[in-house]
Amino acid sequence: MAKVGKRTAAAREAFVGKGNVSVEEAVALVKGNANAKFDETIEIALNLGVDPRHADQMVRGVVSLPNGTGKTVRVAVFARGPKADEATAAGADIVGAEDLMETIQGGTIDFDRCIATPDMMPIVGRLGKVLGPRNLMPNPKVGTVTMDVADAVKNAKGGEVQFKAEKAGVVHAGVGKASFDEAKLAENVRAFVDAVQKAKPTGAKGSYMQKVSLSSTMGPGVTIDISNATGN
């Protein structure tokens, strides 16, 4: 059995007996025990009562966190001509068409978000098997297939977070950094939970939001009282 370090042991001890706490209590606990040598990401996970294998139970959406994520997001844009120029001017890190497709096919994926104009989708569609599993495939439902590439780039870099339910019905995302003020982290947590709540699919049966937990990159997690997180 691997030896547990003093920092990890102390963090685990702080979490003993804690559970179903308020958003504010969870944030204080997780942030207070994020003691790694780097600025840890504060991560949220929601267990949902859905089976994403069924189209009418898929949970997918996007939310602009009020205080950003604290993460530097690299954005790639598939566009040509004036739209390519707009993307570059808005701060896109990579802009291209067939050349970008070939780069990705060659195994280089040096970006966190992918945006495309509608006319580029025949090219982007060839990358489905590469971008799909990484949740990078442009999708009109979350605003990443659009003619307004400048706005999409600015949103991506300004704290917009995409979410999608995994096979087990779990949605997770980073909602800030340990260096953030507690109040700002709590505001981001509530905004994310609210967005997932509003994305409840028509085919969801029974209890939709079953568990909400918060953790830091290197620390243990704590469950949040769902009624406190949703305001219900």
Mean pLDDT of 174-179: 96
Tokens 């003093």 belong to which residue?
Answer: 6
Please state, in angstroms and rounded to a whole number, the distance separating the CA atoms of residues 159 and 61: 14
Name the average pLDDT for the chain: 92
What are φ and ψ of residue 33, in 5° steps?
Answer: -115, 15
Residue type, 224: I
* Pick from 67, 37, 56: nearest CA to 160: 67
| pLDDT, tens only, 18-76 | 678 999 999 999 999 998 899 999 999 999 999 999 999 999 999 999 999 999 999 99
Which string of DSSP letters, residue by residue, matches 187-232?
HHHHHHHHHHHHT--TT--S-SEEEEEEEESSS-EEEE-HHHHHT-
Residues facing 116 on adjacent strands: 78, 145
* Structure confidence at residue 5 (pLDDT): 58
Q: Distances from the Cα of 84 to the Cαs of 78, 115, 141, 160, 197, in angstroms? A: 8, 11, 21, 21, 35
| pLDDT, tens only, 189-215 | 999 999 999 999 999 988 999 999 999
Q: Is the pTM of this model over 0.85?
A: no
| pLDDT, tens only, 90-104 | 999 999 999 999 999
Q: How far is CA 151 from the centre of its chain?
A: 19
* Structure confidence at residue 201 (pLDDT): 95
**Residue 14: is its pLDDT beyond 70?**
no
CB 43 within 8 A of CB 218: no
* Pick from 16, 29, 147, 6: nearest CA to 83: 147
